[in-house]
Structures are given as structure tokens and as C-alpha cells.
Amino acid sequence: MIREICDADYDGLMRLYTHLHEKTVLRKTPEVAAVWAGILRNPAYHIIAAEEDGQIVSSCTCLIVPNLTHGCRPYALIENVVTHAAYRGRGLAAACLDYACEIARSENCYKMMLITQSKEASTLRFYERAGYTRGRTAFVKLL
């Protein structure tokens, strides 16, 4: 099942993020709970999840960004694409990205962007099969 995250999904999502780059599950402190609540309230912030066997096993984030160019059409940013190691190769991340694309189209976005730091050929091919094109130059400044 592909769907958007709800409040009850916090623990499952945090466990999944240990398959991305987090080393431990993020505890739900008051500060973290405030960020989580803000994400859930924000209509432009979409966390999409694939659920199997009663757990969240794949996810991506889709942010809709208002824009004053391209006829005031927004664009979408994709981040935190991840699949649990035991569930990879089943098309779950692709299904999450497809769901994000549906959201972006429904919001009249003119483009979707994602940046990966992966150099793995299989990861890069995955994004190409999902419809993303290499060739633009991205610059990232970590703060």
C-alpha cells in the first residue's frame, strides 16, 4: 500500500531512516515532536510511504515549493528516498516516487528535482528508470 504518512507512523518512519543514513532511531523529544507536528500540518510537505507486512518499508519526501517564475507554477523537491534493505528490488521506492509525481502534477508543478549523493551505478540507473534525467549540475552547501 502506498500512502501518505500519518501521526502514528513516526516510529516506523524513524526505524526506516536507519536504512538511509541515520545510525540510530531518533527519539521523540519535545523538540522533535514539534518538528514532526509541523511537518504533518504543512500542506506542502508530503512524506509518502510504502507499507508491507504492517510496517513502513519504503519512503520519500515531496515538498511543493511556491514559485514566481514559469507562470507562478510551483516545483517539487524530492528528498529522503529510502527502502528497507530486506525489501529492495520490489519497486516500492519507484511506487513512492510515482505517488510523489501524482502529487506534483495535481499541484501543477512544472518540474520535480532530486539530488543524490550516491555514486552507485545501480542507484543512478534506478533514478533514470524512474524518469529523472542526469545532466544538470547541482551544487550543495551543507550547513
Query: Quick one: average pLDDT of 106-128?
Result: 90
CA gap 36, 30 in Å, rounded: 10
* CATH code linked to domain 2-129: 3.40.630.30
pLDDT tens digit sequence for 51-86: 999 999 999 999 999 999 999 999 999 999 999 999
pLDDT tens digit sequence for 16-25: 999 998 889 9
Domain spans in the chain, listed from the N-terminal domain onward: 2-129
Query: Quick one: average pLDDT of 41-46?
Result: 98
